[in-house]
Every structure is written in structure tokens, then in C-alpha cells.
Structure 1
Amino acid sequence: AGAARHLQGQSAGEYSGDHTSYVRREAIGVVGSIAPWNYPLQMAAWKILPAIAAGNTIVLKPAELTPLTSLLFAEAATAAGIPDGVINIVTGLGREAGEHLVGHPDVAMTSFTGSTAVGKRVAEIATSTVKRLHLELGGKAPFLVFDDADLEAAVNGAVAGSLINTGQDCTAATRAYVQRPLYDAFVERTGELMASVRVGDPFAVDTDLGPLISHAQRDRVAGFVDRARGYARVVTGGEAPQGDLKSGAYYAPTLVADAGQDSEIVQAEIFGPVLVVLPFDTDDEGIALANDTPYGLAASAWSRDVYRANRATREIKAGCVWVNDHIPIISEMPHGGYKASGFGKDMSAYSFEEYTQVKHVMFDNTAVARKDWHRTVFGDRP
């Protein structure tokens, strides 16, 4: 709300000498947005609020697994006095409601958050009507630990950063690269701490980690880990809990070591409570490995050396790089990716770059009928 009143633009000025120019920021029109299931209320807010603050109307399709919070959001907006037709929620399957929304000629912009595979399909449909496109896609965030890092801080950060929202977070720590002198200790301590995480009913006060979104997602995560047993070592976890939790979509916090850089579990987005850890020797190698996936949404670097950490922030190709922490985001700063993680920004004043059109307005100051530039048409005639 504050950012909406502080849009930046070029000041009015006489750049040609005979004219005054200024920039207007105008609404795009109808925004068609598709939100994911992992943070359904938060993602609806990220889509809706900047769009309407910039003067647009929006049609939001929430994920079919999590539609209710978006519907409640719209009801609350109506109760708060938002006019009918400004915020619209359409539920349904992606291949039906989602594709129709993206391809509709009256939709001037599409904002999509979800997997890179689906994002590519969204882009294909959006280009058919040459609409504005904003994509926040998958991630495979590296967690780069240099040999001078605070080991205990890095271990705690790795466990919390990989298990947040049961690992169903596109910025979650998924690939820990640890410099060789700390590697064995990091694997041991991270495995111990991860094994102590309490999986259970999310309404219970003594639960640390709840279930995944669905049984299908749990089975997908389990498939990655089961296939990895053929080429890597499962340090802890790697199974669905039994007993009272057997019927739920639960999966134990899992640490995998000794996988190859080009292996599936290192390269593919798992979207579950799984962290894979690999060693590196030189700083050059660590940064190169961190960049060695198609994704570039988030990353972190762990070091007590300010020059080392600053180099990592410069050279890691990601939309957000944390130093000695992993996962916090704030509304005042932009969120978005590099490479196959998409383009465009959510949150902050930068999000309004996505949801506004820039128009150049130019006034003649001379009141002269025949302008100097008219000679390109009229030649030497007076």
C-alpha cells in the first residue's frame, strides 16, 4: 500500500528544447493470475495487492488443491468495500480454467507462480496474444558453506532452510555445498539435527514438521530418494513414518550425501523435506557448482570473511542471495528469479514495474505551425 504511492519515474523536462516530456504510469487492464498451492493465502496476496494497487482488475485462479483461502480473501475484500469486479476468483483445473484464463484476449497480463514446466506452457499460451508475462518458477537453491563458516550456525540454517513448509518452498535450501575441511562434520551434525525433528500432527504443540500437500506429492518425493539409493547415501530419513502417521502424507526429514553433481536428486526440484550435501575444494569450484543448475531463484553463502561472502553474492546467479542465513524475505524488497526460475518481481515497489504501463507524454511548447523537423517532409519550402 505504501509502495503504490511512491512510484518513481523520470521527472518532467525539456529534453528536445521545444517540448516538455513526462512519464505517466498507467494500469495495464485485466490481470489473469495463477497462484500455487504451497502458500495459498500469501501467494494470492502477492498477486492481488500490487495488481489492484496499480489500478488494474484481476482474475485469480488458485491451485485446485487450495482454493478456499482465495475465496475467503475475495469475500473479505468485498466486505472491506472493494468494488465488485475488481477482485475475481475463478476455481478449476489448470488445463481448463488456467489455460483459458491465460489465453483469453481480454486478459492483458498473466502472472504465474509454479513449476518451470508449467511456466513454459503458460508462456506458450500467453505469447499467442502478446500479453505481459510475469513468471516466478521453480528453484533449487544452493547453500554454500565455506571452510571459515560458523559450523553450528550453518547446520541450524541448513536444517531449518531445507524443511520450512515441509520443504515445499521454491527458495528452500536443497543443495548444500560444503568446503572439504568442514564436510564430514557438517554431514554428521546436520544428520543428527535433522533426525531430531519431530514429525506429526501440525495442530500439536510438540510437532516440528507436518505432512506434505498430498499423498501424490509424498510419493513423488519418495521416488526421488528411492532412486538416489542407487548412486548416493541416505544419511537420515528416506522413508514415510509408520504407526499413527501411516495414513497421512508424511515423509521423514531426509539428508542425502555423496551424490554426483549431474544426478537427478541434485539437479531436479523435489519440493519436499530433502537436502543433498556435496563437498567442494576451492572457492571457484564452490561457486561454479552453486550455479550449475537451470535454476536461479535463491541461494545462500556462509562465511566469516566479508570479501569471500561478497564475491559469492556477486557471482551466484540468483534473484536473492543471503549471507549467513537462508529463507527470510521482506515485503520492502523484490522477489524473483534468474534463468529457468523466471523473470519479474513480486513485492516491493519493483512489483509495480510489472503491473503498470509506462507512457511518454510530450507537449509542444512553441505554438508554431511549421516545426523545424517538418523540413524532412517539406524540404526547403518556407
Structure 2
Amino acid sequence: MSQLTAPTFDAFLRDLFVPLCAGGTLCLPPARKLPLDQMLEWLGSSGVTLVHCVPSLLRALLSFDQLQAADVARLAALRTICLSGEVLLPATVRQFREVFGDGVELVNFYGASETTMIRCHHRIVAADVERGYIPIGKPIAATQMIVLDADGVACPVGTPGEIYVRSAFFTLGYYRDAALSAQVFVPNPLRPGADEVVYRSGDMGVLLADGNLRFLGRRDGQVKVNGVRIEVGEIENALLSHPEIAEAAVVARSAEDGSTSLHAYVVARGELPPDLRQFLAVRMVQAALPHSIAGLDALPMTSSGKVDRKALGARKDVDAPSTTAYAAPVTATQEALAGLYAEVLGRERVGIHDDFFALGGHSLRALMVLARIRKAFNVELVLRMLFETPTVAGLAAQIDTIQAAQGDEGQLDLDDLLAGALDELADITKTEG
């Protein structure tokens, strides 16, 4: 078994003692952090059969050129990879199966330090590739996973709630913090007066019809953008489904006006694809499209090997000026539209090749632009048009085309316009309720 975990991370205990207690061999890498090529070489030469790591490391290994080139023979001894610490995305599973097929088993773990680590597991099967998420699985022995609503009532199958853990295996609480211990080690709401304690995880989940549990994110970390509940993991998964993207992370930031914006950071296999926004626009609701998409050489990592989202959230490059060279409007439509962009975005000028969203636009500002376009050009545009063609040049061409059609036919087809408006309304008003 590999030992890839920092001693300050709770999983170190499992990686250290499980193989020793089971009569296995503990394999220690020659250095704390190995380059990917050396990591693969060490895993192979050590004859490691079981790897435990975070999904971020697996994604990095899967994206490594030599591994992608089917140089998997060096890992002939490998039988199982166990993942924990982060959400496992379907895109990672899909890539894993393309490389390893059924030759190596992949297991998704779920648990917390407070419950002496892993309490749930799910063995990945071929059908999981087609899911929009990967379950965290079913509880292990002597454990029950309970999903409760805000009133402490058990949620029916398919209804989201907070995950509580019922088990005989808990820690003794937080060191010298009785108040915090009392907040998470609470009396079992389903057995009042039974003198039984359960662990309140703070994680949201939903019990599936097949008995598996799906993780939905942190109770205190739900992201809402313009009233729409957003799962950043779904955006990351969509980005990773692009063939040129190796790694992706999305963070949320709050502005002084109370608005929330999403910012994506990606590691590309080569040059950063120019079509990422359009790629996402046909896969996500408008509110889930990131305010910015930046390319990095590598995502920052914590000492435990997870993506350092705090470091990404603190980056100062999110409001950097557009790198697109200014190009002045050529046509009357472009000139008027550039003025509308500048007015809504609070900018002195906007070039015809500047991206509305890269300059600070979001779905609410997009609606403001559409209202001004309706008044200025007597043209009805649906929101998706702006997401798919966010530049002045692109949208001006759309406006000219529609005006020409109105001139030929007198007016737009009312049925088509109404259908588009209803589609937009369905996207914009998707909320928790």
C-alpha cells in the first residue's frame, strides 16, 4: 500500500496502520513530493497494489502524457485505488476507465475525522460513467447514515437533507472545545430520550432509491448566484469533460454589493481553449457560467494534497483588464451596442471583440443589456444568445440578422419568441424551491 499522505492529515493513520495490521507492506516514496513521472516509476517499481489518494492527484496522474500513451504496464501490480478527501467527478471516472478499464478497481470513500474517518464507500461500476455524479455509497459495518431535514425529521428517498452519522466509532470530541463538540455530537433526533449520540456532519446529501448516498456539498457552503443554487462540482465536471482540460477548480467570491460571482481556474493540456465559455454555455444554466476562466500551469494544493480553494479565492487576477486589443466599432449597430455594454458594465469604452462576461458581466447584467437592446433596436433577444455570442461584434451580427428578417416578414414569429422566452424563464428561475 502506498503512503502518499502528509502526517498532519487524518488519512495518514489509515495509510500507516491498516497495511501493518493486515500483514501488508507499507511503501514510502523517496521524497515528500514526487514529479508525476517519478511517481509512476516509484509506484511501479515498488509493486504497489493499493493506492489511497485524493481525486486531484488521480486526475493529475491520468492527465500525464506517458500514462495517456498507454504506458500502464509499469503499474501491472496495481489492483485498487481508493479516493477520499474531495468530490469524485464523473469526468475523472470516465478518464480512469479509458486508461485502466476493468483492470483496476476504483473505490470512492466518505467520512470525517470525527467519525474515525471512512464511514461510507462505493465501488465504481461501468454504469457510473453515465451518471451526472458519483455516489459516496453505502455505510460500512456498525454504521448508519441518516438524512434529516431542518426539523430533524428523516428525509424520504430523493429528498435532500443534512447527513448524520450513527456509529459506535467516534472521536472523543474537539480538544478543549466542549462547545464545538456539543454542536456536532448531538442527541439522535430520531430516538429522543434514548441517550444516543450521533454526529452532525454539516454535509448535505440525498438517499437514492438504490440505497446509495449522494453528497451535495456543505450545509454552510452552498453557492447561490442571483438566487440560483449552484453546485461548483457540476461546473468543474463540465470543464473536465472538455478534451483539452486536465484539471479544473471553481471558486465563488462575494462583491461589496452582495452579489456572488464564480471564477474558474483550469490547467490545459496545451493552449487554453478559446471556446470554453461557449462549451459551458450549452451544458450549464446561465447562472452557473463563470465570471472568469483563467489558465494556470498547476492548481495550488494544500499539504494534504487537496486543491487549495482558499488560495484560489485570494487571487487578485479576477478583475484584470481584458487582454483583447481594443477594436473600435465599425457599423452603427456595433457602435450603439458597445455603448450599451459600457453603460451596463461601468466602463469607459468596450471594444467589439471584448467578452461581456470577461469584463464583469453576469446574468443579471445580461438581462439589463437585453432590455436596452429591445428599446434601442426593437429586437427581442433571448439570454442564451448573449452567452453564446458575448462580444459586441457577434451580438451585433445577430441583431442585424434579426432586423433584416423583421424587415422581410414584418415581425418575428410570436410562437418562436414565446417558446424562447419560456425556456429562458425556466433557466433563470431554477431555485431550491
TM class, shorter-length:
under 0.3
Q: TM-score by structure 2 length?
A: 0.21
